[in-house]
Amino acid sequence: MSIPNTFDLTGKVALVTGASRGIGEAIARLMAAHGAHVIISSRKAEPCEAVAQSIREAGGKASVIPCHVGEMDQIDATFAAIEQQFGRLDILVNNAAANPYFGHISDTDLGAFQKTIDVNIRGYFFMCARGSKLMAKNGGGSIINIASVNGVVPGMLQGIYSISKAAVISMTHAFAKECASMKVRVNAILPGATDTKFASALTTNDAILKVVMAHTPLNRVADPKEMAGAALYLASDAASYTTGTCLNVDGGYLIA
């Protein structure tokens, strides 16, 4: 008896932002391994090309479209390029994020505030908006927003970042509700403490990490690869009836 592979992404086109390293890279590699043509995207082309080349050498399909999601003209140019080159988009992973300030919330300056909002809220919003419209032209698709457990329980000394991730959670619900008629599913992943360069302010701060681990039943920091399986599920036919879900991948942090 043949068993259907509901995680097969063959023929799908996937755009993953912030894919030059960390969680985005892990997601891009796993999706490519399951048959998707993955568009590796980040601010700088060179590190994206290194990831894409590695995927191609492993037998996968990958290309590069650089994009700074904090810049509206680059967002528009990215979707124009995708439509021109591929004629479709099936999967969008909004992973690129900004966290320029680590300190007391009352000391947040306007520059750090604006950069965080421009990338994490405005950027995610218009990536979802442009992505859902392109997906709808070809029968639908899946959008996956990488939020954070900080969007539920604000992280210490991570005020504006936590606020922006709470907005991503609400944004996921709003897009899921209104894009369902377009056959576009919209979900989010809420990572806990993960061993990435982006999260190094947390993972290298022994005092804060000790507090986080005390509230993490699995009692360890995640590997970026441990986020990729959740993204594969949400992108695939295995999640065909899943939309508006915020999936905690946090070692139990939010239940502790």
Q: b vs e for 193-212, b when ≥16 Cβ sit within 10 Å of the residue's Cβ?
A: bbebebbebbbeeeebeeeb
Radius of gyration of the chain (CA): 17
CB 125 within 8 A of CB 167: no
Report H helices in the chain.
22-33, 45-57, 72-86, 110-117, 124-136, 159-179, 200-203, 206-214, 225-235
Contact residues for 190 (Cβ-Cβ < 8 A; gap 6+): 147, 148, 149, 151, 152, 169, 246, 247, 248, 249, 250, 254
In the Cβ-directed half-sphere of 219, how many Cα atoms lie within 13 Å?
1
Identify the bridge partners of residue 39 per DSSP, sorted by sequence position.
15, 63
Known catalytic membership, residue 124:
no
Instruction: Considering the candidates 101, 161, 241, 253, report the single residue annotated as catalytic.
Output: 161
250: nearest Cα among 86, 23, 14, 55: 23
Catalytic site residues?
A: 161
